[in-house]
Structure formats: structure tokens, C-alpha cells
Amino acid sequence: MESISTKPEQVAATTADLAQQIPHTEVGNPLAASSDEDRLVAGISTIGLQTRRPTGAQRRKLTRERKMREGTWIERKPPKKTLSSQDSGAPGSSGGIKRPHSDSSTPSLEKQHPKKPRSTQVQTGLYKDAVVGIKMAVIHRRHPDVKLDQTQVDMIRGKLLSAVDESPVEEAPPQFLYSNFAQGILWITCANEPSKAWLTRTISGLGGLWEGMELTTVDSKDLPKRPKVLVRVPDTSEVATVLTRLRIQNPELKTTDWITMSRKVTEKEQTVAFSIDPDSFKALTRSNFKAFWGLGRVIFRTLKDEKGRPETNTSKPPSQ
């Protein structure tokens, strides 16, 4: 059978004629009546015209409109979105709570690897290898105003050696690394804490070695520190000459008790660092750290560096 080709104008005219005829159609059962669109599609198919079939979306739309007219349409809610396992456990989300582990899911003790305790033997060995000693100072109780001399130090050493020989065998023996005498101080480095306690106890028990003997032991870090000053002298004379001249022109300065820490000499001047006694430091403080020297004055500066390295002074040296 040959297909009948129609023009859009003819299809529109035919559709209009059918639309006019639809109201006169008798319907026996109102509930079984089709919608206008359904009858329109049926009427077009009766005249043998080839038309495009409605799409699925169009059919669903027509079905919805028909059921809405009949009162049988039910609105369906879209399914809820299932939360992922990551979203359900996120803070602030309405998802479920993570399921707690049961006793059966607890890792076995065999799988757990407890930390191994450190070996005490290894620690002791490392400590002994790293020990550098405990440096102690045997001094006069009024140090640095009163200092020990070589004769006094020799007597102290003799008494300490005798005490070592008389130490009980059942007690920990006193052990020392080295000792030396410098600047009125007997320095003794103990190998361990028991030796430090032995030295302190033995020194406090000494007495009668010489008249006015008052000894004590202090840790090197607790040793009374002497003030340190730096001065630039516009002269290249020997340090002894500089100290003598300062003492003569400044009687309040006890330069005989000063210790030269460092000295830097140039063509026309020298910079010297001294460790001085507390009384001289107080006198310099009262004079605003200025002292008479030669035909003028010199200016002192305090040093915080214990090594007493001369610092560069940018100020102009005073004239003689």
C-alpha cells in the first residue's frame, strides 16, 4: 500500500475538522472516556495518515494530565539520597554514627607491639663515656679579696692525699680527673658526684694549717666573679707601667690586685682587658668609669664576655 504524503497544511485542516466533531461523540461510560488528545490521535490514525508517534515524555505528560482530571493522580516523592560512608561520619552531618568495634574486632595482643624499655646498662655506659667531670674550686671564704698562695695550696694538697689514703675500703673511693692552681684558686675536677661530696666534706674538716685559714668549696659556675673592664691607653708602655701610673694617680684603685686578661698593642696605643677587685669597680662606678692617667684621663668600659677579649673602641682616645 502506497503511503499518502500530506502537507502540513492538510494535516492541520484535518485535525481542526476532527476537533469540531469530537464534542458530538457519545460516550457510554464517562470513566472510560479518553482525553481530547487521545481521541485526536485516534482520529488522525483513522484517516490513514502517517504521523510521528508521541515520545515517552509526551505520553507521560498526557497520562498525568488525564489522571489529574480523573482525580487519581498521586504525587511521588523522589527517593532520598543515600549518604556515603564518608559523609555519614562527617561532623555536623545527619548521617549515621560509626558502629563501635565489638570485642571480637579488637586487635589481638599478639599483633600489638609494645615499646621496648631502654636498657639501663646501655644508658650507664653512654653516661660514663660522655662524662667530663665536675669542676670544683677550693677558695678562701672571702675570695676574691683573700686569695690562696702557692704554699697554702701545697699544704691543702698534702692533706687531701692523706685523706685519700685513709678512705675506708667499703666506701666509694674518691676519684679525680685533674687539679691545678691559678689566680689564688685550687681547681679540682671530680670524676663523679660521690667524689664531689667527699671533697666538700674533707675541705670543711681541715683546720689549723695556718693562721686565719677559712676554706670552702664551690662549683665552678658558682664561683664569685670579679668584674671585668676594658681600657684603651694612648701609650705603648708595659702593662706594669700602666698599672703603677693608675695606682699613683688614682689611690682608690687597687691595681696590685688586677689581673691582665688580654692586651692588644698598635703603633701608638694599646687596649687592655683587666679582671679587677670589687672595690676598684665600685670606685670606677663613682667616677663614671673615668680615671686619671698621665696628662689626661682614660675611659673604662665594662665587659660581659668572660673571655675578656678586647673590643674595638670607636671613641676618640683622650689626650694626654
Q: Using an 8 Å Cβ cutoff, are 271 and 264 in contact? A: yes
pLDDT score for 285: 95
**Signed CA dihedral, 11, 15, 17, 18: sign only:** positive
CATH of 130-222, one of 3.10.20, 3.40.50, 1.10.10, 3.30.70: 3.30.70
pLDDT score for 223: 82
- What is d(CA 65, CA 160) in angstroms, rounded to the nearest whole number? 118
Find out if CATH 3.30.1150 is the number for domain 228-302: no
Q: Which amino acid is at 138?
A: V
Give ranges for CATH 3.30.70 in the chain: 130-222, 228-302
pLDDT score for 248: 96
pLDDT score for 1: 43
DSSP secondary structure string, 249-307?
H-TT--GGG-EEEEEEE-SS-EEEEEE--HHHHHHHHHTTTEEEETTEEEEEEE---TT
Crossing angle for the helix pair 36-46 and 56-70, to the nearest 10 degrees: 130
Dihedral, CA atoms, 7, 10, 14, 19, nearest 10 degrees? Answer: 90
Angle at 317 between CA 316 and CA 318, to 5 degrees: 115
pLDDT by residue for the chain (320 residues), tens digit each?
444 444 555 545 555 554 455 444 444 444 444 556 566 656 555 555 555 777 888 888 888 888 888 877 777 766 666 555 555 555 555 555 556 555 555 555 555 555 655 544 444 444 553 468 999 999 998 787 788 999 999 999 999 999 999 988 888 899 999 999 998 999 999 999 999 999 999 999 987 888 888 899 999 888 877 899 999 999 999 999 999 999 999 999 999 889 888 999 999 999 999 989 888 999 999 999 999 999 999 999 998 744 444 443 333 334 43
- What is d(CA 102, CA 42) in angstroms, rounded to the nearest whole number? 67
